Amino acid sequence: MRHLLSTKDLDRDAAIGLLDVAEDMADVANREVKKLPTLRGKTVVNLFFEDSTRTRISFEAAAKRLSADVITFSAKGSSVSKGESLKDTAQTLQAMGADAVVIRHGASGAPHTLAASGWIDAGILNAGDGTHEHPTQALLDAYTIRKRLHGAASRGHDLDGVTVTIVGDILHSRVARSNVWLLTTLGAHVSLVAPPTLLPVSLRRWPARIGFDLDAAIDTHPDVVMMLRIQAERMHAAFFPNSREYARRWGLDDVRMARLGPGSIVMHPGPMNRGLEISAAAADSPQSTVREQVANGVSVRMAALYLLLSGEREGQ
Amino acid sequence: MNQHFPNQRFLISGATLADGTHTDLLVDDGRIAETGSGISARGAEQIDAHGLLALPGLVDLHTHLREPGFETSETILTGTRAAAAGGFTAVFAMANTSPVADTAGVVEQVLTLGETAGYATVRPIGAVTRGLAGEQLAELGAMAASRAQVRVFSDDGMCVSDPLLMRRALEYVKAFDGVIAQHAQEPRLTVGAQMNEGTLSGELGLAGWPAVAEESIIARDVLLAEHVGSRLHVCHVSTAGSVDVIRWAKARGITVTAEVTPHHLLLTEDLVAGYDARYKVNPPLRSSEDVQALREALADGTIDIVATDHAPHPAEAKDCEWDAAANGMVGLETALSVVHASVVESGQLNWSDVARVMSHTPAAIGSLSGHGEPIAAGAPAEFTLYDPSATRRISTADLAGKATNSPYLDRTLPGRIVATFHRGHPTVLDGNLVDFQNGTEALGG
């Protein structure tokens, strides 16, 4: 794998292969010494133009468990905040000998630009770009669903026939985009539920069913309900009247949780707004995978870094 | 008379006119002195134009020359060299310079710099509002009465979105037969907009620039123009819906004219998928359905002219992530080839139509005399010789301005400018830009 920019580029075999490697990586986490020598001598740069402590430390833990050297380059307080361009930053990292760059950027497509630019030879791993994609989040979500469904026998399985309902701010969500492509590739049936204002104006090519009514979606008893974080600031741009109305219509509250039934799992990429898009009881219920998602995130990111750095490099 | 040359006669033999007839052209004292065949070549430099199309010098109603203020992108000298290389003999220079062209002083300076450069007539466009701020009218009358004789006013880059201010501007310029050229973009509907809003923008996660943001302003403006009886010109029309609105307005008798850029006639939003900032432009590239509608509108006269929106930027403004990149593309050097590829090869326009939409009508909209006249005895010697049978793979060597932000690099386009005559003298000869100081300079080499 030369880069990991988008789940749209992943075919079924590649996606299952990555999830299977993540299973192996998860085994490492259960050992007394949680470390593999695989990437010794490799340098992984965490290049974060946006604050995201969770994603950054998850990648950091993943790289360290594989014995890579980790450099964290956060835009705040660095030359980037003094107006240095992405190009100059990339060339600096190239000169320092980065083998992989994990990039989080506020501009959609910035990882593509980095990968296509010729500024840097390193493998590029998209850790979230604007409102475009967040491929490792989708991979850890797929991993988590598979694990819940198949447990220790997960290896080799796809998500054929699994029904997934993603609820919330689809328009601005890179998590939703990456999940729509990946889960569909793996055979799942994806539905999106959102206020009409928070859906892209045209979803013609999206392999997903679209709805506005969360109660109707709950009544279909999907295997998975994935709640997205809603930013309360969106109400200032007239996406919805206020957070109370949002919670009433699109929040997973206790009543809806009860109607959903025990057969469904509840996911959230975090950080959660408890009481807004998800109730405390739903978040803390046995059906909730929120903490598993965090743990699985490290395994999946280990797998991504491993495949990026230890395999044959195309074109090299 | 061109100040750089003593008078010199040129005999151009065997040229094909836009209507398909063949003629020789004798150029003398800044005019086409004679047409026909068997003209005496005595004392004249001879140019063999067999197989070449002679078109009236192209006139661009929408050029960003960047001077004063943004000379790292382009200067009036380099921008008019790009114009000459593309067969243009006159350009209208947009007002978004620094300082903004919102006073008589600035527009006269732009005029003077154009005269000094000598590559094309430069007609300044005046800002509609002071500093392009959209709050208070600029001194439109002073600019109109200045030596620059400004007739076209535009806040291009910014939309005059305040309906009352737009109404007043339309009314006010009637006093000197001016025209307001509107950049139609409802600002509230395009906050942070990065590309055409549609299926692709949703997939790419780029904030959408909806067609309705253009169409709603055009609809409002044609109604305002009707109400106050003024002339409106719509810049860079980019959507099928805008075409419908303009078609309706014209059928109603409203005095509205409209332009389309070469890039909106050829390129579609699909190019954005790789996040290559060369394709970032405002208004954005649209769908193939929009492109088809624009071609048809140009063919049936709903859209009156082609204008380049030549927008030079330094390399670093495009060599970056999409959101951070500047909007705009250079277009003067390739405009005729792109029109050739998009609407002539399809049979929608013939060469007489091209002369109309790229020379005659833009000169008429801009109240520019001495340009846009048919090639005939007595007409000013403003014309270009174009080889329609040539093809070229566009490279930076084809670009004569300062900037290289062309979306056509590495594309193959038909046609090639062989010569351009401005004020009776060549600015391009044998496909090479004439350097007034040092003789000819290689172009496309």
In chain B, the domains with their CATH numbers are 9-54+377-441 (2.30.40.10), 57-365 (3.20.20.140)
For chain A, domains (ranges, CATH) are 7-133+294-310 (3.40.50.1370), 135-289 (3.40.50.1370)
With beta carbons less than 8 A apart as the criterion, state whether A58 and A301 touch: yes
A-chain residues within 8 Å CB-CB of B207?
131
The neighbour count for residue A254, using CB atoms within 10 Å, is 12
Q: What CA–CA distance (Å, rounded) separates B282 from B289? A: 18
Q: How confident is the model at residue A315 (pLDDT cuts 50, 70, 90)?
A: very low
> From the centroid of its chain, how far is CA B230?
23
Model confidence pLDDT, tens digit, residues B420-443: 999 999 999 999 999 886 554 444
The whole-number pLDDT of residue B195 equals: 98
Name the residues of B annotated as catalytic. 309
3-state secondary structure of A224: strand
The whole-number pLDDT of residue A82 equals: 60
Percent of chain B with pLDDT over 90: 94
Model confidence pLDDT, tens digit, residues A175-202: 999 999 999 999 999 999 999 999 999 9
Q: CB under 8 Å to A82, separation ≥6 — which residues? A: none
> From the centroid of its chain, how far is CA B187?
24
- DSSP-assigned states of every residue in A65-84: HTT-EEEEEESTTSGGGGT-
Span of A65-79, A223-237, B164-178, B331-345 with lowest mean pLDDT: A65-79
B324 touches chain A (CB under 8 A): yes
Nearest to B208 by CA among A13, A108, A113: A108
* Structure-model confidence comparison of residues B198 and A231, the more confident one: B198
The whole-number pLDDT of residue B440 equals: 47
A-chain residues within 8 Å CB-CB of B199?
200, 202-205
The whole-number pLDDT of residue B147 equals: 98
Task: Return mean pLDDT, chain B.
Answer: 96
Confidence check: pLDDT of A6 > 60: yes
Q: For A204, which residue in chain B has the nearest alpha carbon?
A: B199
A116 vs B202, B274, B323: nearest CB:
B274
Q: What CA–CA distance (Å, rounded) separates A241 from B253? A: 43
With beta carbons less than 8 A apart as the criterion, state whether A10 and A17 touch: no
With beta carbons less than 8 A apart as the criterion, state whether B332 and B89 touch: no
Report the residue of B189, B196, B275 to disrupt the A interface, i.e. the one with the largest count of A CBs within 10 Å: B275
The whole-number pLDDT of residue B273 equals: 97
Confidence check: pLDDT of A81 > 80: no
Amino acid residing at A134:
H
Q: What CA–CA distance (Å, rounded) separates A263 from B97? A: 64
DSSP-assigned letter for residue B276? -
A-chain residues within 8 Å CB-CB of B316?
85, 87
Nearest to B221 by CA among B162, B133, B174: B162
Nearest to B13 by CA among B268, B385, B403: B385
The neighbour count for residue B387, using CB atoms within 10 Å, is 18
The whole-number pLDDT of residue A192 equals: 98
B322 touches chain A (CB under 8 A): yes
Confidence check: pLDDT of B224 > 90: yes
Sign of the alpha-carbon torsion through B420, B424, B430, B434: negative
B436 touches chain A (CB under 8 A): no
Amino acid residing at B112:
T
DSSP-assigned letter for residue B43? T
**Which residues 114-153 on chain A approach chain B with CB closer than 8 angstroms?**
116-117, 129-133
The whole-number pLDDT of residue B41 equals: 83
Enumerate the β-bridge partners of residue B26.
B11, B34
With beta carbons less than 8 A apart as the criterion, state whether A283 and A273 touch: no
Subunit contact B203:A201, Cβ cutoff 8 A: no
Peptide linkage before B99 cis (omega within 30 of 0): yes
Residue for token digits 């403003």? B382
Subunit contact B319:A133, Cβ cutoff 8 A: no
Q: How far is A199 from chain B (nearest CA, A)?
A: 9
Can you tell me the mean pLDDT for A69-82?
74
Confidence check: pLDDT of B85 > 80: yes
Model confidence pLDDT, tens digit, residues B155-200: 999 999 999 999 999 999 999 999 999 999 999 999 999 999 999 9
With beta carbons less than 8 A apart as the criterion, state whether A14 and A39 touch: no
Nearest to B296 by CA among B260, B267, B332: B260
Percent of chain B with pLDDT over 70: 96
Residue for token digits 């970032």? B280
B321 vs A86, A177, A204: nearest CB:
A86
Model confidence pLDDT, tens digit, residues B313-339: 999 999 999 999 999 999 999 999 999
The whole-number pLDDT of residue B442 equals: 44
A177 touches chain B (CB under 8 A): yes
The whole-number pLDDT of residue B42 equals: 86
User: A94: exposed, middle or buried (C-beta count within 10 Å: 0-12, 13-18, 19+)?
Assistant: middle
Q: How far is A179 from chain B (nearest CA, A)?
A: 12
Subunit contact B206:A108, Cβ cutoff 8 A: yes
B201 touches chain A (CB under 8 A): yes
Nearest to A164 by CA among A224, A251, A210, A228: A224
A207 touches chain B (CB under 8 A): no
The whole-number pLDDT of residue B4 equals: 52
Percent of chain A with pLDDT over 70: 96
Peptide linkage before B388 cis (omega within 30 of 0): no
Amino acid residing at B177:
D
Q: How far is A33 from chain B (nearest CA, A)?
A: 41
The whole-number pLDDT of residue A29 equals: 82
**Both tokens assigned to B233:** 């010109």
Q: How confident is the model at residue A14 (pLDDT cuts 50, 70, 90)?
A: very high
Q: How confident is the model at residue B1 (pLDDT cuts 50, 70, 90)?
A: very low
Peptide linkage before A222 cis (omega within 30 of 0): no
A-chain residues within 8 Å CB-CB of B206?
108-109, 130-132
Confidence check: pLDDT of B3 > 80: no
The whole-number pLDDT of residue A237 equals: 85
The whole-number pLDDT of residue B444 equals: 42
3-state secondary structure of B207: coil
**Both tokens assigned to B49:** 């134009």
Confidence check: pLDDT of B32 > 90: yes
Q: What CA–CA distance (Å, rounded) separates B431 from B420? A: 9
Q: How far is A292 from chain B (nearest CA, A)?
A: 28
Span of A232-236, B72-76, B139-143, B212-216 with lowest mean pLDDT: A232-236
Confidence check: pLDDT of B350 > 90: yes
Q: How confident is the model at residue B45 (pLDDT cuts 50, 70, 90)?
A: very high
B161 touches chain A (CB under 8 A): no
Span of A50-59, A159-168, B124-133, B366-375 with lowest mean pLDDT: A50-59
A201 touches chain B (CB under 8 A): yes
Q: How far is B206 from chain A (nearest CA, A)?
A: 6
Task: Return mean pLDDT, chain A.
Answer: 93
Subunit contact B202:A86, Cβ cutoff 8 A: no
Can you tell me the mean pLDDT for A111-115?
96
